[in-house]
Amino acid sequence: MASVTVRSSSHDYEVLIGKGLRHNLVEFISSGYTSILVITDSTVKDHYLQDVKESLSEATPVFTAVVPAGESSKSMVRYEELLDSCVDVKLDRKSLIIALGGGMIGDLAGFVASTYLRGIDYIQMPTTILAHDSSVGGKVAINHPKGKNLIGSFYHPVKVIYDIETMETLPESEIRSGYGEVIKHAFLSDEDWAHRLLKGKLSELSVKQLESDIMKGIQVKASIVEKDEREAGIRKYLNLGHTLAHAIEAELGYGEITHGEAVAVGLLFMMKLSNELKGAQLPIQAYKEWLDDNNYPVSVLTRIRPDRMLERMMLDKKTLRRKINFVLLHELSDPYVVEIEEAQLLEQMSLLINEVSGE
């Protein structure tokens, strides 16, 4: 088992990563809780809920709440239902919520924990690769019909327990989604790591490499959020690829493509902007090939309209006075934030769409 300690303004917390951790929860979870509510989704439930319940202390009452799988559950309706569940099972201030699932569950259950009785403890138990990103850093949220994560808080878990075995049941699309954020973390931090990833195929991934990539990703994320918890400065770098990704997800409807796939496509646009507008020499051709080799849905670009994307980016919370800030790269591992004019964005987006369409 490996571990990383994350420092936050309210408290420090540990991220534990290892095989089969879900079978030994009693070792990692304080016995002082009056009750525990495990929040999970309809897919994860069938795989791991029983294991988790069995490995918690018999001395503590354990309740469960299950929401439908998929990003569309990160909604006001599910948020309200879960708060009702907290009230119904009488969670008190010394109760614990466990978020068992991917990023959707972590964000949703974390937001419930942050606002029930003005905040009770919660533990993240990520079951996807993608969630290596969202489970660290304290951002919890639900979506609004007009934008992703528009409603939420900054609220840190008391622990993150990452059972690497739960990655073994992931479908190909989820591995692809997770590596959208993994490669972002590599682009942000480590040129060698990035090139190594670009040379590999996800279908040939070993468990050992997966574990190492997740650990490295968490370290990148943790080191940035520790320095800038509330996104006043460098935390913005973590939005690399996300400005377009959020707009695509909102436009297509959440759940149409996965978040990490959208990020992977957003990173392509980031490379385009960095190279064309700012003279960088990022390996866009190698990245395009990697996206193709691993079946990333780059073709979604042919289904979007640049003007509508622009309107959605305006609403994005990183927007200030209707100008659009982008995170770009001078080179791999060297990010910066820059304001880009609407006309240039429209032009580069059209060019990229044409390239992808094969024109």
**Residues taking part in catalysis:** 118, 139, 181, 221, 231, 235, 239, 242, 246, 259
Per-residue contact flags (x/-) with its own copies for residues 26 to 65, judged by CB under 8 A? --------x-------------------------------
Say if residues 43 and 97 touch (Cβ distance below 8 Å): no
Per-residue contact flags (x/-) with its own copies for residues 59 to 78, judged by CB under 8 A? -----------------x--
Minimum Å gap between C-beta 196 and its own copies is 34
Near its own copies by CB under 8 A, which window of 18-26, 100-108, 116-124, 270-278? 116-124
Task: Measure the CA dihedral 234/235/237/240, to 10°.
Answer: -170
Q: How far apart are CA 112 and CA 97, in angstroms?
A: 9
Q: Which residues pair with 331 in a beta bridge?
A: 334
Minimum Å gap between C-beta 249 and its own copies is 16
Tell whether residue 208 is a contact of its own copies (CB under 8 A): no
Minimum Å gap between C-beta 81 and its own copies is 11
Output the six-digit token pair for 239: 């939005």
Helix (H) or strand (E) holding 8: none
The total number of residues shown for the chain amounts to 359
Residue 70 CA: distances (Å) to CA of 174, 234, 280: 12, 30, 37
Output the six-digit token pair for 316: 């994005």
Output the six-digit token pair for 348: 């580069």
Reference 241, options 274, 216, 264; nearest CA is 264
Tell whether residue 87 is a contact of its own copies (CB under 8 A): yes
Minimum Å gap between C-beta 146 and its own copies is 5
3-class DSSP state of 262: helix
Tell whether residue 198 is a contact of its own copies (CB under 8 A): no
Query: Based on CB atoms, which residue is closest to its own copies, 149 or 274?
Result: 149
Binding site residues, its own copies, CB under 8 A: 9-10, 34, 76, 80, 83-84, 87, 90, 92-94, 114-119, 139, 141, 144, 146-147, 149-154, 230, 314-315, 317-321
